[in-house]
Amino acid sequence: MDLENTKAQMRKGILEYCILSVLSRNSCYASDIIRELKEAKVIVVEGTLYPLLTRQKNAGLLSYRWEESQQGPPRKYYELTAEGREYLTDLDRSWDELVESVNLIRTR
């Protein structure tokens, strides 16, 4: 068994869920998402975020639009699609179930 690998696998699933949760509140650009994920300590290196965002966008969960920015070049703002919201609702439910199951086992 490889502890680091197990941890990484755990984090990976959670990260996808967290990205969708951050975006469920309002549309963000990548650096906003990163700030939130870093505050919550669910992301180690920022480079992990970008392939996930692109994959979620390709899967139809996210869409993006370009917005002008005062500080620099235009920014890509991501938001959840209807499909993404549905997906997130499913994930919310399964997360609650998962926490419940794990707690049940741990506190037995």
Partner 1 sequence: MKITLSINLGGYSFNIDEDAYAELKRYLKNLELHFAGEDSSSEILSDIESRMGELFRARLTSYKQVITMDDVRYAISVLGTPEDISDNEGASAREKFSSRGYHRMYRDPDQRIIGGVCAGMGAYWRIEPWLVRIIFFILAMMGGLGILLYLILWVVIPEAKTTAQKIEMKGEPVNIHNIKDSVKKEFDTVTKKMKL
- The reply to whether 14 sits near partner 1 by the rule CB under 8 A is no
Comparing CB distances to partner 1, the nearer of 25 and 47 is 47
- The reply to whether 4 sits near partner 1 by the rule CB under 8 A is yes
Residues 19 and 42: their CA atoms lie apart, in Å, by 10
Residues 76 and 107: their CA atoms lie apart, in Å, by 44
Crossing angle between the packed helical segments 3-25 and 49-58, to the nearest 10 degrees: 60
The answer to whether the beta carbons of residues 20 and 91 sit under 8 Å apart is yes
Report the site for partner 1 in 43-72 (rule: CB under 8 A). Answer: 43-48, 50-51, 53-55, 58, 71-72
Question: Closest separation between CB of residue 24 and partner 1, Å?
Answer: 21
Question: Closest separation between CB of residue 73 and partner 1, Å?
Answer: 3
Comparing CB distances to partner 1, the nearer of 24 and 48 is 48
Question: Shortest CA distance to 57 belongs to which of 12, 20, 14, 94?
Answer: 20
Question: Shortest CA distance to 20 belongs to which of 95, 73, 71?
Answer: 95
Residues that bind partner 1 (CB under 8 A): 2, 4-5, 8-9, 11-12, 15, 30-31, 34, 43-48, 50-51, 53-55, 58, 71-76
